[in-house]
Amino acid sequence: MKKSAFTIVGFLCLLMFLQSFKTVNTSPVNPPDEFEILVKHLETSLNYLNTTDGSAIVSAKEIFENIKNKRYLVIDLRRDDYFDDGHIKGSKNIKAANLLKFFKNKVTPEKYDKVIVTCYSGQSAGYYASLLRMYGFKNAYSMNWGMSSWGKAYAERMWTRRSTDDFKSEVESTDNSKATKGARPTLSTGKTTAEAILKARIEHLFTVPYKSYITKAPAFFEARNDFYLINYWDKTNYDTLHIKGAVHYAPQTSLTSTTDLYTLPLDKKIVMYDGTGQKTAYAIAYLNVLGYEVNNLAYGANRVMNSTLLEKGAGWDAFSAKEIHSYPVKKNLYAE
């Protein structure tokens, strides 16, 4: 009897021992919702919308006054032939696709009070400065109006000839309704933590040329019904005047999960505009990180109704001759 009892106990122990070698499936039944994880992180831990949106733009005047300040670094995203033809003394010519690698491996960003990104008009610089700030480089800024504000020759190539009234009649003061709240983007980086998801999304966006997120005014007005147009001004400005059909989203407040973020449609092309396209560039980078596909209306309202913005005065971001300086440039055959 004792032998039988020992045999049974031994058999049970053997079964338990073998059971311990079975593969245990620790994978979650449902993968984590990367979008929700990322939204929460950006809105709480980073509080991103309330720490950028225009505050990360510096003037050409500030840069000129700090030209000898070793705590300032200027990065020029323009094509190398444009850079060689004239650039800010001490600036570095870096391709946009290599900008994140430069920050991570080629320079020590924390050595500087401000690392200012400049380009032709300020729009792409704002977009990439926004991505850098979300990645963790909080001292990244963009230069207002880009190199167009540094000298007349640069302005004539870019802003002067694109500050038009070509679509001046295409405006209204009607308050257009936002879309109803609907589906949200699906992210699939394969990461599980907010920080890892954010970095994966930003690293991906650095592989996509900024021109992919530009809609030119003629193309927009030719097919305006294909777009969900967002006006990104203060409500007072919107109520006064805006492009026909535009829906108002307030800077710093409308693009959160508790307000109107989920009204952004996934089944229609989204285009944003402000006065210049530079402040919207910061918001567009934010939304594209979240998985929305949002384009910038090139040159903003200045491309549509420049003279109207000039008439309205302060607070309308009109481009004019007063924005153009005559600061010195360095010309050489090789980027510094």
Say what the pLDDT of residue 279 is: 94
Measured CA to CA, the distance from residue 277 to residue 63 in angstroms comes to 21
| 125, pLDDT greater than 50 | yes
Residues in the chain, overall count: 336
What is the percentage of the chain residues whose pLDDT exceeds 70? 90
Alpha-carbon torsion angle 50, 52, 54, 60, nearest 10? 150
For residue range 3-21, what is the model confidence (pLDDT) as tens digits? 554 455 555 555 555 455 4
Q: What would the mean pLDDT of 132-145 be, rounded to a whole number? A: 96
> Which pair of tokens denotes residue 288?
């594209």
For residue range 274-292, what is the model confidence (pLDDT) as tens digits? 999 999 999 999 999 999 9
Say what the pLDDT of residue 336 is: 42
Number of other residues whose CB lies within 10 A of the CB of residue 127: 30
Q: What would the mean pLDDT of 293-309 be, rounded to a whole number? A: 98
Least confident of 50-54, 67-71, 87-91, 211-215: 50-54
Say what the pLDDT of residue 14 is: 52
For all residues of the chain together, what is the average pLDDT?
91
For residue range 213-264, what is the model confidence (pLDDT) as tens digits? 999 999 999 999 999 999 999 999 999 999 999 999 999 899 999 999 999 9
Domains of the chain: 39-163 (3.40.250.10), 171-317 (3.40.250.10)
Give CA separation, 72 vs 53, 135, 332, 333, in Å.
21, 20, 21, 24
For residue range 58-73, what is the model confidence (pLDDT) as tens digits? 999 999 999 999 999 9
Say what the pLDDT of residue 80 is: 94
Measured CA to CA, the distance from residue 73 to residue 93 in angstroms comes to 11
Are the CB atoms for 94 and 77 separated by under 8 Å?
A: yes
Say what the pLDDT of residue 335 is: 41
Is the pTM higher than 0.75? The answer reads yes
| 152, pLDDT greater than 90 | yes
